[in-house]
Structure 1
Amino acid sequence: MRDALPWVRQKTPRRLRWGVFLWLVGFALGQCPLAGAEVACPAPGSAAESAVVAYVDDGDTVKLSDGRRVRLAGIDAPEVAHSAYNDRPATPAEPFGEASRAALQAILARSHNRLRVQPGAEGTDRYGREMAYLYTPGGQSIQQLLLADGLAMAVYMPPNLALADCLTATEQTARAARRGIWANAEYEPGIETARGIPADVQGAAIVRGQVVSVHQTRSTVWVNLEGRVALQIPARAWPSFAGVDFQRWRGKTLRARGWLVPDKNRYQDWRMPIESARSVTLVNAE
């Protein structure tokens, strides 16, 4: 995600700042973010190892004391501010980016930065970070703690779907309560594709738009949304869409989440690869 769109920036800053304040106060008082949660994620398995965190990059990435960098599987947190590097310009923090990092730091501080690391089904991402599920020493999912307070969103990247059910349920509760990021219109209801995608969008995003066309080849289903945004569903993801007639999506409004990729051609300006049916919902069917 990125900073709020110009057309919502006037409506959200006070609520966003107030949400960060309330979260920090609640954590300082020792309130458990999952108090009263209906769905608890499974405890770590036998493959989980004990580790110590040396540094927290942001709300979804940590560096362990042995030098390994670990990306929290199954979630994506708002971006923190980044300084200019080589030919990449500096970028500001997104709403709740700093709060998400502070929340992860606070969770870890309670156990003196000790945690349990459960390897994901896919070992590393394209940046060389280990994909893993993190737990407190007592077995509580750290991904779930962040989602419970609206400080991250669930993402679905097979084969790392081990906690998809419990993380989805936790996010739905936070979304319904408009906690954290869910008070930001770019997450709820999502970026309206008809208005155009901001050029500086960062990380994972949620988009919402009407389907104008659907084209299927032997290897890919292309779902074109208004505003020249295309959802790219590869054949390997089709089994998760069992029973879905993609052609029936024409004229309907979809809400999709994933990583937006600039891809200017005659059909689209932006492309969003979709690897799981969990990443797409019909708006009128939510």
Structure 2
Amino acid sequence: MIEEKTNDLELVIVIKVIDGDTIVVSDGRRVRLVGVNTPEASYYKKEPYGIQAKNYTTYKLLGKSVWLQRDVSDVDIYNRSLRIVWLEKPVKSMDIVEIREKMFNAQLVLEGLAEAKAYIPDVTYNRFLIRFMGEAKETRRGMWGSKIIEMYSFSLDK
């Protein structure tokens, strides 16, 4: 089991994906991604693009080593660790290019599979995530695309 701490980063392995913005890591913790909100994809509630967000998170993270970074808060009211997930260890964590290329939270937003959401006080990367959400909307990626209405369409024909 890989677990390493360096400054404010810790290296873990993703062992389970709950949904697009919640994972379980090698030490057993549930981790909620900071600054983003994906549509729901649970047994009880399915929202448009929820399954796509979960599948993307699974593809990118499951079984892989990632770096976790704490913002301000440690856990939320559900006792999930609140973290930024880095696919590679950042050299300059406030550099927009590094954020775009290495931060998984940002990639979810850029792909249009999550919205940027400020959960005060954990807002260190909020300005970047809001910018990325604007880019996703402008390029009509994921949930911001023109075909979102098809996700709600169904036929009553038998």
TM-score by length of 1: 0.44
5 Å matches for 1:1-286?
A: 46-82=7-43, 90-91=44-45, 93-109=46-62, 112-139=63-90, 140-183=102-145, 184=148
When the two chains are superposed, the root-mean-square deviation of aligned CA atoms in Å is 1.6
| Residue 120 of structure 1, CA deviation | 2.1
- Aligned partner of residue 62 in structure 1, secondary structure: strand
Point out where structure 1 has 5 or more consecutive residues left out of the alignment.
1-44, 83-89, 186-286
Is residue 19–residue 42 contact of structure 2 (8 Å, CA) maintained in 1? no
Query: What is the one-letter code of the residue matched to 1:148?
Result: L
> Could you say which residue in structure 2 is the equivalent of 1:86?
none
Looking at structure 1, the residues matched to 79 and 58 of structure 2 have their Cα atoms a distance apart, in angstroms, of: 22
Looking at structure 2, the residues matched to 167 and 81 of structure 1 have their Cα atoms a distance apart, in angstroms, of: 24
Query: What is the one-letter code of the residue matched to 1:107?
Result: K
Give a deviation string over 1:21-41, Cα, whole Å, max 9, x none. Answer: xxxxxxxxxxxxxxxxxxxxx
| Residue 138 of structure 1, CA deviation | 4.6
Looking at structure 2, the residues matched to 53 and 127 of structure 1 have their Cα atoms a distance apart, in angstroms, of: 19
Aligned length: 131
Looking at structure 2, the residues matched to 120 and 129 of structure 1 have their Cα atoms a distance apart, in angstroms, of: 14
Give a deviation string over 1:55-105, Cα, whole Å, max 9, x none. Answer: 0001100001111000000000010032xxxxxxx33x2111111011111
Q: Which has the higher contact order (CA 8 A, sep 6+)?
A: 2
- Aligned partner of residue 81 in structure 1, secondary structure: coil
- Structure 1 segments of 4 or more deviating over 6 A? none
- The structure with the larger Rg is 1
Point out where structure 2 has 5 or more consecutive residues left out of the alignment.
1-5, 91-101, 150-158
TM-score by length of 2: 0.77
| Residue 170 of structure 1, CA deviation | 0.7
Looking at structure 2, the residues matched to 158 and 127 of structure 1 have their Cα atoms a distance apart, in angstroms, of: 16
Looking at structure 2, the residues matched to 134 and 169 of structure 1 have their Cα atoms a distance apart, in angstroms, of: 18
Query: What is the one-letter code of the residue matched to 1:59?
Result: G
- Aligned partner of residue 131 in structure 1, secondary structure: strand
Query: What is the one-letter code of the residue matched to 1:125?
Result: D
Looking at structure 1, the residues matched to 40 and 14 of structure 2 have their Cα atoms a distance apart, in angstroms, of: 20
Give a deviation string over 1:132-164, Cα, whole Å, max 9, x none. Answer: 100003541001111111000010111100101
Is residue 10–residue 67 contact of structure 2 (8 Å, CA) maintained in 1? yes
Looking at structure 1, the residues matched to 11 and 132 of structure 2 have their Cα atoms a distance apart, in angstroms, of: 25
